[in-house]
A and B are shown apart, each in its own frame.
Chain A
Amino acid sequence: MEFNSFEGAEHWPFILKINLVLSLFFLVLTLAFVALVIYLRIRKNRMEAYRTRFDRKLIEFFNHFLFDEDFKRAAELGDFKFRYLKTAYDHKLAIKQVLIFDENLKGESSEAIKELFNGLGLYKYLLSDLKAKAWYRQARALYALSKLGIKVPEALVTPFLHSNRVELRQQAMLYFLNTSQENPLAFLDDLDRELSLWQQVFIENSLINFDLEVPDFGRWLNHDKSSVVVFCIKMVVSFNQFQNIPLLIEALDHTDEGVRAQAINSLKIMEVTDALQLMTANFPYESPSNKRAILYAIEKIGTAKDLRTLVSAIGREEENLQIDYYKIATRFENEIPVRKLINPDNITNDWADYQYYSKRVLQGA
């Protein structure tokens, strides 16, 4: 390999050739990306301008349609559809506007908006989206349908409940929630995955805005997915379903830690003093965070005596529980001699003293 004698490129060593080719390749790619950036920028600006113009047209048309009594609705609808709704993008923008109108207006306008929706052929467009292959088009269609409360044949939506894409499962749930006439949570029955917190949030939100009767959550308190049980316990509280309190108390013995935690919290919020006995009985066997939750339940619905029965169950090494205990005890009665417990250096020793002391208080000494 002769490094110092290059005459022409054909004599160059292999490595140099590769490097040269690579450089050229990079250069071409760089230029391609620069072009792409410029193209994107121009396209985005164009689309943006188009969208602004089209949105204005849509809003104006919708306003005439909704508020102008002299407006020949049927004829103008057909005309607008024929003249302006051409591309998929046009349809998308129209649906977006319909959604915005629907979100902001109610009363007599809601019906008119539906008429508008059907008249512009947007229903057909959404159906074709629903049958499309791409998940994001399906999800978008489901979203629009459920927002507007428009029904499609159920067989089209049910499969999405078991889709592998979480977004589709979510939108399908929303769809059933918003369009069903009775028992909006029927889909929970055969749910085979855990509910995420986010799903719980939007289910609750839909239920709040629900016109029909809210279902009895007792039905799912034995569901085999613990997140469903947790969710239903929360809902029992949110919708004040006092008839389910016995089931909540049962849930204190549930095998799942999270379910027990939610049960403790909910019983605390509902101020079910009857549950305290079971809570204190379970206390020694609970996880650290549930022990803590029980302490705070006592703070809200229990007495100083309830609290004191737990002193012997808090071990010397459970420093952080001792701190919780201290915080709560001072709220019941200030003279409890636990003040010295706050010093982290000797908290555990002091705790032993305190255990001895409180045992004697309990015995009435």
Chain B
Amino acid sequence: MNISIQDIIHVFSVLFLIYGLIIISGYIFSAFFSIIEIRDYKRKNNFQDEVALLQSANLPSISVLAPAYNEEANVVENIRSLLTLNYPSFEIVIINDGSKDNSLQKMIDTFQLEPEELVHYHYIPTKKVRGIYKSKIKAYKNLRVIDKANGGKADALNTGINCCNHDLICCIDVDCILERNALLKLIRPFLNDTKRVIASGGIIRVANNCVIEDGRILEVRLPGTFIARAQILEYFRAFLMGRMAWSRVDGLLLISGAFGMFDKKTVIEAGGYDHSTVGEDMELLVRMRRIMREQNIPYTVGFVPDPLCWTEVPENKQILMRQRNRWARGTVETLLKHKKMLFNPKYGVLGLLSTPYWMFFEWLAPVLEFVGIVFFIILVLLGQVNFQVFAIFFLVVYSFSVLFSITAIYFEEYSFQQYKKPKYMFQLMRTALLEPLFYHPIVMWAAVKGNIDLIRGKKSWGQMTRTGLGSTTKK
């Protein structure tokens, strides 16, 4: 008995080491490529002011699509701030996804909307459109409101695609705060490349506790709660290190649902958003890439690292866990749906690097971690743990997590330095020390729970998605 447990421990240690090596190589990969990408981006943009030029030019028109479900409290304010975006030619399309509150009436009253003729294209099948509204007032001529039967976020966006006028669409969460030049910056990848650009995405920043006036960030502040600060670190890691690096090797798999621009034609060819998954944003991009690859059309996906979109992250543990639960299910659903791409050299970087990375880091990491902890607890119960050994294992994991976060802080400092006060930097470093102990277990458990829910066949787009539209924002 004793011997066999020893053997298990030994195997466990070796597995731990192998897994650790994979993680470390992932870390080195993202640090390396993202630092190159950030450096290049800085060099490209340090001498010229393109915004002024862009403003004056004939640029492609953009349709901004914003689904709204029960957003009565803020929808009017949010629309007002969207209308002040700095771009020569765009329309705002608000899709009222069968809200149960008074949002529609509120919009009609404030902006003096009147119904338009109910004609729209049928590129993608959707739930029934009840009405299309336009404002009587000239100042709001860029605004259109679509009223439709409830069908979830994906369905709302598809309806927007059917009803909008322009060839580029920018999908956003109605409650996020966009920088005034956000569209000008986000469209740059589309202008720059002679290949077909199918999408471009940006970095999401945490708006909690920032000074906001008229839908604009006046002063960037660090949130007061630990749980929000920990998410700032997470976002640094995910965007400044993760997505930057993926964009360098053109292997980006996810453009945030909160802020991304797409080529409408390609979206329609791919069939639009899939409403059977909770990870509709990730799934769409993966499907678009897959289709381009299968049809052998040269294409690219752009990424803009400037801070353009700010969003409120949950400061409540329950809401956070629900959000992470949803993300975990979205990831797994997407990977399963496109499992053909995994390790498939036919899909190039996507097949050999991106999808395996997502499998190991986004899907399996929390699960394996959880198994490891369960295993450890069993050992404790059996009295088989040498605490010296435990301390060393713990130390290596902990020091690695801290290193990871500190590197991400360094990247922020090197690139955009949004947190101006030195005090904030030190607070963030302190958060980096505490985060692995007090925050990480929460999100890990939420992800594991997401996996369990998925296996138990929980309807993925039931009540969950709807709360998602209302109270939480997707990364």
Decide: B119 and A323 in contact? CB cutoff 8 A: yes
CB of B109 closer than 8 Å to a CB of A: no
Interface string of A69-84 (1 = CB under 8 A from B): 0000000000000000
Q: Is the CB of B422 within 8 A of A41?
A: yes
Whether A15 contacts B14 by the Cβ 8 Å rule is: yes
- A36: chain B residues at CB < 8 Å are 410
CA A202 – CA B57 in complex, angstroms?
A: 8
Decide if A30 touches B122 in the complex (CB within 8 Å): no
- Minimal Cβ-Cβ distance residue in A for B409: A37
Find out whether the CB atom of B399 lies under 8 angstroms from the CB atom of A26: yes
> How far, in angstroms, from A319 to B119 measured CA to CA in the complex?
12
Return the CB mask of B393-408 against A: 1 if under 8 Å, else 0.
1011001101100110
Interface of A, helix, strand, loop or mixed by DSSP: helix
Cα-based distance from A3 to B388 in the complex (angstroms): 10
Residue B19 interfacial (CB < 8 Å): no
Closest chain B residue, CB of each to CB of A202: B53
Q: Does B194 contact A (CB under 8 A)?
A: yes
The stretch among B42-50, B67-75, B229-237, B349-357 that forms the contact with chain A is: B42-50
Given the contacts A6-B386, A34-B406, A136-B43, A196 and B192 also touching, CB distance less than 8 Å: yes
Q: Is the CB of B393 within 8 A of A19?
A: yes
- Does B389 reach chain A (CB closer than 8 Å)? yes
Neighbouring B residues of A365 by C-beta, 8 Å: none
Interface string of B17-60 (1 = CB under 8 A from A): 10010000000000000000000000110111000011011111
In the complex, A23 has a CB within 8 A of chain B:
yes
CB neighbours (8 Å) of B399 from chain A are: 22-23, 26-27, 30
A280 to chain B, nearest CB (A): 23
User: With A and B bound together, what is the CA distance between A344 and B159 in angstroms?
Assistant: 14
Known contacts A197-B191, A227-B194; A26/B429 CB under 8 A: no
Report chain B residues within 8 Å CB of A140.
Answer: 46-47
The answer to whether the Cβ of B9 comes within 8 Å of any Cβ in the partner chain is yes
Q: How far is the CA of A202 from the CA of B10 in the complex (A)?
A: 64
Could you tell me which residues of chain A, from 314 to 365, have a CB within 8 Å of some CB in chain B? 319-320, 323, 326-327, 330, 342, 344
Contact partners of B56 in chain A: CB under 8 A: 205
B31 to chain A, nearest CB (A): 10
Q: Is the CB of A3 within 8 A of B389?
A: yes
B413 touches A41 (CB 8 A): yes
How far is it, in angstroms, between the C-alpha of A344 and the C-alpha of B393 when the chains are bound?
A: 63
Give Cα A132–Cα B253 distance, bound, in whole angstroms: 38
B290 at the interface (CB under 8 A from A): no
Q: A33-B403, A342-B118 are in contact. Are A198 and B188 (CB under 8 A)?
A: yes
A144 → chain B closest CB, angstroms: 8
Residues of A within 8 A of B43 (CB): 136
In the complex, whether A105 has a CB less than 8 A from a CB of chain B is no
Across the interface, name the chain B residue whose C-beta is closest to A206: B53
Distance in Å from the Cβ of B216 to the closest Cβ of chain A? 24
**With a CB–CB cut-off of 8 A, which chain A residues contact B194?**
193-196, 227
A18 interface hit (Cβ, 8 Å) = yes
A319 and B410 form a contact (CB under 8 A):
no
Find chain B residues with CB under 8 A from A144 CB.
Answer: 47
Take A201-B59, A202-B53 as given contacts and tell me if A19 and B120 are in contact as well, using a CB distance cutoff of 8 Å.
Answer: no
| B209 on interface, CB distance cutoff 8 Å | no
Chain B residue at smallest Cβ distance from A99: B47
Is B392 in contact with A201, judged by CB distance below 8 angstroms? no
The answer to whether the Cβ of B239 comes within 8 Å of any Cβ in the partner chain is: no
Interface presence of A143 (CB below 8 A): yes
* Residues in A whose Cβ lies below 8 Å from that of B422: 41
Contacts of A1 in B (CB 8 A): 6, 10
Give the complex CA separation of A294 and B195 in angstroms. Answer: 26
B192 touches A26 (CB 8 A): no
CB-based contact A167/B54 at 8 Å: no
| Contact digits for B235-278, partner A, Cβ 8 Å, 1 yes 0 no | 00000000000000000000000000000010000000000000
Contact residues, B397-441 vs A (CB, 8 A): 399-400, 402-403, 406-407, 409-410, 413-414, 417, 422, 425, 429
**Considering the chains assembled together, what is the distance between the CA atoms of A197 and B188 in angstroms?**
9
Closest to B14 in A: A15
B57, A23: Cβ atoms under 8 Å? Answer: no
**Residues of B contacting A37 with CB < 8 Å?**
406, 409-410, 413, 425, 429
Instruction: Say yes or no for B190: interface residue by CB 8 A criterion.
Output: yes
Assess whether A172 is interfacial by the CB under 8 Å rule.
no
Q: Within the complex, what minimum Cβ distance (angstroms) separates A312 from chain B?
A: 22
On chain B, the residues within 8 Å of A18 by CB distance are 17
Report whether B392 and A16 are in contact in the complex, using a CB–CB cutoff of 8 Å: yes
Does B121 lie at the interface of the complex (its beta carbon under 8 Å from any beta carbon of A)?
yes
Taking A1-B10, A136-B44, A196-B194 as contacts, is the C-beta distance between A23 and B425 under 8 angstroms?
no
Contacts of A204 in B (CB 8 A): 57-58
A198–B50 Cα gap in the complex (Å)?
Answer: 10
B388 touches A6 (CB 8 A): yes
Give the chain B neighbours of A205 by CB distance below 8 A. 53, 56-57
A300 to chain B, nearest CB (A): 16
Whether A4 contacts B386 by the Cβ 8 Å rule is: yes
B299 at the interface (CB under 8 A from A): no
Q: Are B54 and A201 in contact (CB under 8 A)?
A: yes
Residue A161 at the chain B interface, CB threshold 8 Å: no
Residues on A with beta carbons closer than 8 Å to the beta carbon of B406: 30, 33-34, 37
A29-73 contacts to B, CB under 8 A, are 29-30, 33-34, 36-37, 40-41, 44
Residues of A within 8 A of B425 (CB): 37, 41
Compute how far the CA of A53 lies from the CA of B60 in the bound complex, rounded to whole angstroms. Answer: 42
Is B77 an interface position by the 8 A CB rule? no
What residues of B have a CB within 8 angstroms of the CB of A41 in the complex? Answer: 413, 422, 425
Which of B57, B119, B188, B396: most chain A Cβ within 10 A?
Answer: B396
CA distance A289 to B407 in the complex (A): 48
A326: B residues at CB distance < 8 A? 119
Contacts A196-B193, A204-B58 known; 19 new A-B pairs at CB < 8 A: A6-B386, A6-B388, A16-B392, A19-B393, A19-B395, A20-B395, A26-B399, A37-B429, A40-B410, A40-B413, A40-B414, A44-B417, A143-B47, A143-B48, A167-B44, A201-B53, A202-B57, A234-B58, A289-B265
Q: Which 8 residue pairs of A and B lie closest in terms of their CB atoms, listed nearest first?
A: A198-B191, A26-B399, A136-B43, A194-B194, A197-B191, A201-B57, A23-B396, A23-B395
Contact surface of A with B, Cβ cutoff 8 Å: 1, 3-4, 6, 15-16, 18-20, 22-23, 26-27, 29-30, 33-34, 36-37, 40-41, 44, 136, 139-140, 143-144, 166-167, 193-198, 201-202, 204-205, 227, 234, 289, 319-320, 323, 326-327, 330, 342, 344
- 19 contacts across the A-B interface (CB closer than 8 A): A3-B386, A15-B13, A15-B14, A19-B392, A20-B396, A37-B406, A37-B409, A40-B410, A136-B43, A197-B190, A198-B188, A198-B192, A201-B54, A201-B191, A202-B57, A205-B57, A227-B194, A320-B121, A323-B122
